Amino acid sequence: MGKKNKNLPRVAYFCMEYGLQSDFKIYAGGLGILAGDYLKGAKDHDFPIVGLGIMWKQGYGDQMLDENGQPFDAYRNRKYDFLKDTGVTVDVLIRNVNVKCKVWLVEKFGNAPLYLLDTDLPENADAWISGQLYGWFGEERIAQEIVLGIGGVKALRALGHEVDIYHFNEGHALFAGFELLREQMEGEDGLSFKKALKKVKKQVVFTTHTPIVQGNESHPIDRIEYMGANLCLKRKHLVKLGCLDDENLFNMTVGALRMSKKSNAVAQLHGETANKMWKDVKKRSSITAITNGIHVPTWVDPAILAAAEGKKEQDFDKLWEVHYKNKKALVGFIEKRNGVKLDVNKLIIGFSRRAVAYKRSDLIFRNPKIIEPLLKNQTVQLVFSGKAHPLDDAGKAIIANLVAMSKKYPKSVVFLTDYDMTIGAALTRGADVWLNNPVRPKEASGTSGMKASMNGVLNLSILDGWWPEACEHGVNGWQFGDAKELEDPAAQDLHDMNALYKTLTEEVVPTFYENQPKWRKMMRKSIRSTNYQFSVERMLEEYYDLLYC
């Protein structure tokens, strides 16, 4: 679409994080990986998109383990020699103090440039605003969002970019909308708030990710006003935009829903969840479902895509040959990182994602009577990775438990520390099976499973996120459980755990060890059934057809 049509809307995409390459530490997790893939896809397919973000000095930090297996966070200043100085600096007011934001360009994206705002300047007393990604929650977070949103719009103006659509990826970018309102209310026409909002809404779209109400960021209105994020907006305007029951608590997602002409969820099931979550928000935009996609050249081995094209028996052998090579590379990667050498001929199950309770990283360990024999004889080998939020003690306890399991079963359980794009790529190419067991329906999308599937790594997953759209049970992967949602968390865990064990022991393990021809056919089907449907190319086309139009 992009290369054929030069008259598409010009889009400015705002996001707090971008996962572009592993050692460019301005990303934390799935939100950033999506944003990075989005820009790469825009470049590849010639879509008129410009990205706005923040040049994080320390990023999300490194998460390491102490001698007792307890995770801790370490931070260091980083510099990148591939950034280009645009020569542009914009000013924002924070606590009524002027803060200068230097604008850097990530050159490699050509027609889809990414600009990063940086407050680490000697003239700023508050140089640390762009220090740590998601490092704080209160005043500091609002300051960061002022830089992203208000500073981002000002940067676009200074750089001479004409924009038709402003796309807010999560509520962090909402203050860009406040700056657009300010331009209308304080400009030549001097529009009223009502008229300004009507005009701005025609230019704004919003993507919501977090399917848990409590996970959607809120700030006291007093704090927003104190920080100066409200610009020319009065308290009554803020209440109309972002408040629900509490007129002093401004919800960034609610504000974005009310300020945008259209919004989207990131999978078909998430579309249902999001509309239920926000059904009581009056005067909000409609939420349509546009399932996420991945940048195939970044994440998928081209050799396995080529091998999947064949239909003859020798082609299935070639498919396994490519996968076996990737699996050996993963085994070598793990040995180098952890000193543990897994058996390349035994089943390897991968699990890497953010360490948080609802993702239930340790569900597979809950009944030792079933899982222990499989681990002791290496019938099943488990490789975990993931980070907890630096301030999330519960998430860190999950990691500590996974580390403890790796010590209990040293030949068959591995935990790779400091999860990043390098680990993610190695696992989604080299594992045999990709495990996913969140509490349904709390997984918004789950793009790691898409990467695995396109690499011939078979998904074993709860019917959550993107998987209900792709799963052909026993054909291109497996579901476990019946999508039943129970009110009692303990009962839900028991129900899903038993379903996981049943599918693992009765279908996955026997197929791998006793029916390799079927396994290879499933690998081929996994690749061919997801290759385009869950690509960023398809996602971008739907953004233009359903969101930007």
Residue 212: the pLDDT is: 79
1, pLDDT greater than 60: no
- 189 or 11, higher pLDDT: 11
Q: Is 412 domain-assigned?
A: yes
- Across 260-292, b (16+ Cβ under 10 Å) vs e yields bbbbbbbbbbbbebbbebbeebeebbebbbbbb
Residue 137: the pLDDT is: 77
Q: Is 353 domain-assigned?
A: yes
Question: 101 pairs with which residues across the strands?
Answer: 90
**How far, in Å, CA of 37 to CA of 430, rounded?**
21
Compute CA distances 7 → 10, 242, 340, 445, whole Å.
9, 34, 54, 30
Question: 168 pairs with which residues across the strands?
Answer: 14, 206
pLDDT band of 7, cuts 50, 70, 90: confident
- Region 137-141: mean pLDDT is 90
**How far, in Å, CA of 533 to CA of 527, rounded?**
10
pLDDT band of 5, cuts 50, 70, 90: low
Q: Is 228 domain-assigned?
A: yes
Residue 438: the pLDDT is: 95
Nearest to 181 by CA among 162, 210, 201: 201
- Region 312-318: mean pLDDT is 79
315, pLDDT greater than 80: no
pLDDT band of 136, cuts 50, 70, 90: confident
Q: Is 1 domain-assigned?
A: no
Does one domain contain both 46 and 79?
Answer: yes
Residue 6: the pLDDT is: 65
Model confidence pLDDT, tens digit, residues 282-297: 999 999 999 999 999 9
Model confidence pLDDT, tens digit, residues 399-458: 999 999 999 999 999 999 999 999 999 999 999 999 999 999 999 999 999 999 999 999
The percent of residues in the chain predicted with pLDDT above 70, rounded, is 99
Does one domain contain both 46 and 152?
Answer: yes
Residue 2: the pLDDT is: 46
Residue 3: the pLDDT is: 45
What predicted TM-score, i.e. pTM, was given to this entire model?
Answer: 0.95
DSSP codes, 501-516: HHHIIIIIHHHHHH-H
Residue 210: the pLDDT is: 86
Q: C-alpha angle 242/243/246, rounded to 5°? A: 155
If you compute the radius of gyration of the chain from its CA atoms, what whole number of angstroms results?
Answer: 24
Does one domain contain both 231 and 87?
Answer: yes
**How far, in Å, CA of 308 to CA of 322, rounded?**
10
Q: Is 59 domain-assigned?
A: yes
- Residue 247 has φ and ψ, to the nearest 5°, of -80, 5
Does one domain contain both 243 and 304?
Answer: no
Q: Compute CA 463 distance to the chain's CA centroid, rounded to the nearest angstrom.
A: 19
109, pLDDT greater than 80: no
Residue 314: the pLDDT is: 72
Does one domain contain both 30 and 60?
Answer: yes
- Region 29-54: mean pLDDT is 96
Does one domain contain both 242 and 316?
Answer: no
Q: C-alpha angle 407/447/205, rounded to 5°? A: 140
Q: Is 2 domain-assigned?
A: no
- Residue 115 has φ and ψ, to the nearest 5°, of -110, 135
Residue 120: the pLDDT is: 96
Does one domain contain both 528 and 543?
Answer: no
Does one domain contain both 234 and 374?
Answer: no
Does one domain contain both 230 and 334?
Answer: no
Q: Three-state DSSP class for 541?
A: helix
117, pLDDT greater than 70: yes
Model confidence pLDDT, tens digit, residues 149-186: 999 999 999 999 999 999 999 999 999 999 999 999 99
Does one domain contain both 200 and 122?
Answer: yes
241, pLDDT greater than 70: yes
Does one domain contain both 122 and 157?
Answer: yes
47, pLDDT greater than 70: yes
Q: Is 214 domain-assigned?
A: yes
- Region 5-9: mean pLDDT is 79
* Tokens of residue 429, six digits: 């190419």
Q: Structural domain of residue 272, as residue ranges? A: 11-293+538-547
Q: Do 24 and 80 touch, CB atoms closer than 8 A? A: yes
- 97-106/114-118 β-pairing: antiparallel
- Across 97-133, b (16+ Cβ under 10 Å) vs e yields eebbbbbbbbeebeebbbbbbbbbeeebeebbbbbbb
Indicate the number of domains in the chain: 2
Model confidence pLDDT, tens digit, residues 54-73: 999 999 989 999 999 999 99
User: Which stretch of 156-170, 186-200, 207-221, 503-517 has the lowest confidence by average pLDDT?
Assistant: 207-221
Does one domain contain both 264 and 355?
Answer: no
Q: What is the CATH number of the domain that holds 160?
A: 3.40.50.2000
231, pLDDT greater than 60: yes
Q: Is 206 domain-assigned?
A: yes
User: What's the chain's average pLDDT?
Assistant: 95
